[in-house]
Structure 1
Amino acid sequence: MAEASMITPIAGGEDARAKRLQWRMLIGFLGGLIAGLAVHYGAADALWVENVTTYVTGPVGQIFLRLLFMLVIPLLVSALIVGVAEMGEMRALKTVGLRTLVYTVVVSSIAVAVSLLVVNLLQPGAGVDPALARTLIAQGAEGAKAITERAGEAKTGMDALVAIVPNNVFSAMSENDVLAVMFFALFFGIGLMLVQTPQTVALKSVVEGVFEVAMKLIGLVIQLAPIAIFCFMFNLAAQFGWDLIIRLSAYVAVVLLALGLQMFVVFPIILKTLAKKSPVAFFRETQEAFVMAFATASSNATLPTSLRVAHDQLRLPDRVARFVLTIGATANQNGTAMFEGVTVIFLAQFFGIELTLTQQIFVMLVCILGGIGTAGVPAGSLPVIALILGSVGVPPEGIGLVLGVDRFLDMCRTVLNVIGDLVAATVVSAGVTDEPATEAASG
């Protein structure tokens, strides 16, 4: 298979770099946690601690967040435009592209709804001393002001629905109006999909260039994550002590429960009802992709394996499987969307911020679209999570709390992403016959 030979070396190199980064992030997490706990129980009232958090760890963390916010809008816009436009790039697959798009949005919606339901029922972030939470929010308020100052102006009801359609996309970008910006990106992507001229091909090339540059810059910024995580965890542990560890273990358990429900309840129902496929047979046939996804924590690195499993084990039409799996590697990320949803609500609970139903619907919509537009770089969901946190009034620096356990959770949600792509390919392939066997032979 030509795809495997082209993808594997690149993905392998990226995966090795990602693993090194994750180890550095874990070291930063543990270092900040230990130092913060030592301060919390040994020198909590010392003047030097306040000076360190005010003039060193606080500003370093805020600079890291601002770098992410600087890049997240161009990243999401370009990713969504290109992702939607590519679904109709091949005339023979326009119907498949439409079915893939509808399936992706519907199943991603189910995934995020499941994750929000679980995290709201189990409340893993609740129970932290409200006074401590308010203190930390107050300390970070000035640095996060540019991000959160519009959170109190959130629209509700019909006004919120109307506001999703921007009257000025540049104004929406400057105001970090995420849903309005994403609506424009989706709408623009549909336009590129429908208009096939040399000019639109050139325009799509430009947007792809913006996406590649934004991804590269995000990758450079993420290299600073270990230092930022140390600073975040130092501040958090110095404030909350052992309560931090207790809440973090509850958070991990809730993420795994949500992923498990999607994998072993929702997916089997979809397979049985829409594809008339035995879930037991499906999981048996896809176990190679399952193991590869868990080991690499990379959808892109697992793509060659997924393509081979779709052809050899699931016996899916090649032209459909290649299209759906290639698009799905970046645009059908159920696990990522669920992780983002659980993380945002968990941090809101941790900081004692009660999100309204409208705000939770907002979180759900952004997670659905973020699952389509999240960058395929280490900690690629980080900018989306930070952006959602700022939009609903939760301190963005709270992301430092979860990044130390992200490697294991990344492995688990990558399994869901990859298996979700294979479920999508199976469903979209239902009722579609492949072209003569010569195509499979030539692939």
Structure 2
Amino acid sequence: MRLPALHWQIVIALALAAGAGFWFGDVAGFITFCDFVGKFFLNGLKLLVVPLVLSAMIAGIGAITQTKALGRYGLVTLGFYVGTGFIAILTGLLMVNLLQPGIIGGKPAGPLLGLDSDVGDVMSTVQGKGAGDLLDVLLRLVPENLFAAAAAGDMLGLVLFGFLFGYFVSRLPSGLHKTQREFWQGLYEIMISIANVIMRLAPLGVFGLVAPIIAKTGWSAFKPLAWFCVAVLGALTIHVTVTLPLVLRFVARVSPIKHFRTMGPAMLTAFSTSSSAASLPVTIDRLEKHGGVPQRITGFVLPIGANVNTDGTALYECAAAMFIAQAYGLPLDLPTQFIIVLAALLTSVGVAGIPSASLVAIALILGSIGLPLEGVGLVLAVDRILDMCRTAVNVFGDSCATVVVARLNGEGGVHGEPALGSSVK
């Protein structure tokens, strides 16, 4: 018997969790079993944090720097990715601050969502930050012991190390370079395979994490989650219908409407598969055959974008961390929000183009500001549908980056528009 697709399995698990939680109520044995299942799944996600982020960074950056086209296209590509990613994160931050989905009836939603960690302990690790903590963020990028920092959940240094390591791998002699590239690419593929195996347990994880919440709090737990979805979807909509079209119009000088028509099939593929990597062949086909972008540009920009340009994911990670902080009742000041923004921007680069991999990055961000990792369980119930939406945004952002790189390098023929400058030979 063939099982339904993973997203339908999660929907079924969510429905079963709601029914079981309502039926069994706060029965000790049922709660203990569900807690075990949920913790088992979360531990599997946390297990992947260090090797997945590190291998993705090194493999991805190594691929960029070994390409001869880096001098012509690289700065524009990376500038687009960083700039639009930063705007996307700020959009998500603004929406969560405005709607405050973690605050229900003027009170933190933590009790409704079944958060068990002591709020006082959490507050002591998050509050009391001043302007000096902005400099501390920079110091944490260069920890005195990389392994100790990673083990403690402080992953910012690991992210920077991955960037530097990937760059200097490309500077090795050909024999050593090939060995290093094959090793890290192989490790990356292994981590993706393990992540796929762990994500097969997602329906059980959803059941184990959601059922106790329903058992303890009833249906009221869904109200903050609904507002969280509204905040994320609203921010994603602004980014894909306002920010990116403005870039297309005023930077690339192409018609956003034409580009939406060109990328429709690729965005639908991304939405249905929740995978930038799985959508890559369709994205390349649409841009080359229907958008008029040369193969030398799609072949450079799009494979990088599948791992680096993740505007929707970065937006979601920031919004999720803020939502969880609100649910704990923690008033985050500007320095702490800056840490969240920086962590979301950096970790989104290391997120693999596979379904729900951003859950790993959310755990990383929570650890960077001192929030318990159990908060990941709050967003797991709605992660799949939001994953589908943000992946479509990611793929659209990749296509916009490709068009911008082509146009700023003097390529004509993109959507039938005349070249902006001299054609790159």
Give the alignment's TM-score, normalised by structure 2: 0.87
Residue 430 of structure 1: SS of its match in structure 2?
helix
Contact 2:113 2:217 in 1 (8 A): no
Relative distance call for 1:259 and 1:78 in structure 2 (3 A) is same
Tell me if 1:50 matches 2:35: no
Partner of 1:432: 409
Query: Structure 2 CA distance, aligned partners of 1:185 and 1:151?
Result: 27
Deviation at 1:410, TM superposition (A): 2.1
Give the match for residue 197 of structure 1.
174
| C-alpha deviation, 1:274, in angstroms | 1.6
Asked if the contact 2:317–2:344 (Cα under 8 Å) also holds between the matched residues in 1, the reply is yes
| 1:21 partner amino acid | L
In the TM superposition, residue 153 of structure 1 has moved relative to its aligned partner by 10
1:330 correspondence with 2:315:
no
Match of 2:48, SS?
A: helix
Q: Could you tell me which residue of structure 2 aligns to residue 289 of structure 1? A: 266
TM-score by length of 1: 0.83
The one-letter code of the counterpart of 2:144 is: N
Provide closer, same or farther for how the CA distance between residues 168 and 134 of structure 1 changes in structure 2, counting only shifts above 3 A.
Answer: farther
Q: 2:334 aligns with which of 334, 339, 357?
A: 357
Q: Report 1:148-227 matches (<5 A).
A: 156-195=133-172, 197-227=174-204
CA distance in 2, matches of 1:391, 1:58: 24
Separation (CA, whole Å) in 1 of partners of 2:50 and 2:169? 19
Matched residue SS, 2:103: coil
User: 1:157/1:377 Cα in 2 relative to 1: closer, same or farther (>3 Å)?
Assistant: closer
Map of 1:37 onto structure 2: 22
Percent identity of equivalent pairs: 35
Give the deviation of 1:214 after TM superposition.
1.8
**1:417 aligns to what?**
394
Give the alignment of 1:73-112 within 5 angstroms: 73-112=50-89
1:87/1:94 contact within 8 Å kept? no
Query: CA-to-partner distance for each residue in 1:245-271, whole Å, 9 max, x for gaps?
Result: 222221111111100110111101211
Would the aligned equivalents of 2:367 and 2:373 in 1 still touch at CA under 8 Å? yes
Please tell me whether the aligned partners of residues 334 and 420 of structure 1 are also in contact (alpha carbons under 8 angstroms). yes
- Of 66, 73, 83, the residue aligned with 2:43 is 66
- Distance between the aligned counterparts of 1:287 and 1:66, measured in 2? 37
Residues 402 and 170 of structure 1: CA distance in aligned 2, closer, same or farther (over 3 Å): closer
- Superposition deviation, residue 107 in structure 1: 1.2
1:312 deviation in Å? 2.1
Q: How many residues are treated as equivalent by the alignment?
A: 407
Structure 2 CA distance for partners of 1:71 and 1:148, relative to 1, 3 Å: farther
Cα gap change, 1:21/1:153 in structure 2, threshold over 3 Å: closer, same or farther?
Answer: farther
Give me the CA root mean square deviation: 2.9
3-state SS, counterpart of residue 116 of structure 1: helix
**Structure 2 partner of 1:313:** 290
- Alignment CA distance shift 1:71-1:149 (3 Å): farther
Distance 1:185 1:338 in 2: 22
Task: Kindly indicate whether the alpha-carbon contact (under 8 Å) linking 1:317 and 1:433 is maintained by their aligned counterparts in 2.
Answer: no
Structure 1 residues 153 and 197: CA distance shift in structure 2, 3 A: farther
Distance in 1 (alpha carbons) for counterparts of 2:85 and 2:110: 35
Post-superposition offset of 1:296: 3.1
Q: 1:20 to 1:203 in 2, by over 3 A?
A: same
Residue-by-residue CA offset, 1:83-119 (whole Å, 9 max, x unaligned): 1111122213443133212221121111111111111
Measure, in 2, the Cα distance between the counterparts of 1:135 and 1:304.
40
Helix, strand or coil for the counterpart of 2:66?
A: coil
Q: Does the residue aligned with 1:156 lie in a helix, a strand or coil?
A: helix
- Is the deviation greater in 233-242 or in 335-344? 233-242
Distance in structure 2 (CA, Å) of the matches to 1:362 and 1:132 = 22
Secondary structure of residue in 2 paired with 1:355 = coil
2:257 is paired with a residue whose SS is: helix
Which stretch shifts more, 387-396 or 65-74? 387-396
Shift of 1:344: 1.7
**Separation (CA, whole Å) in 1 of partners of 2:62 and 2:372:** 35
Q: Is contact 1:30-1:404 (8 Å) kept? A: no
Structure 2 match to 1:20: 5
Structure 1, unpaired ranges of 5+: 1-15, 436-443
1:152: how far off?
8.0
CA distance in 2, matches of 1:361, 1:304: 36
Q: Quickly say closer, same or farther: Cα 1:198–1:97, change in 2 above 3 A.
A: farther
Match of 2:419 in 1: none
Partner Cα separation in structure 1 for residue 149 and residue 123 of structure 2: 15
Say if 2:314 and 2:344, in contact at 8 Å, map to a contact too.
Answer: yes
CA distance in 1, matches of 2:77, 2:410: 16
How far has the Cα of 1:75 moved from its partner? 0.5
For residues 176 and 104 of structure 2, the distance between their equivalents in structure 1, rounded to whole angstroms, comes to: 57
- Indicate if the aligned counterparts of 2:6 and 2:200 stay in contact, CA closer than 8 A: yes
Paired with 2:318 and 2:135, the residues of 1 have a C-alpha distance of: 23
Residue 280 (structure 1) aligns with: 257
Distance 1:189 1:152, change over 3 A: farther
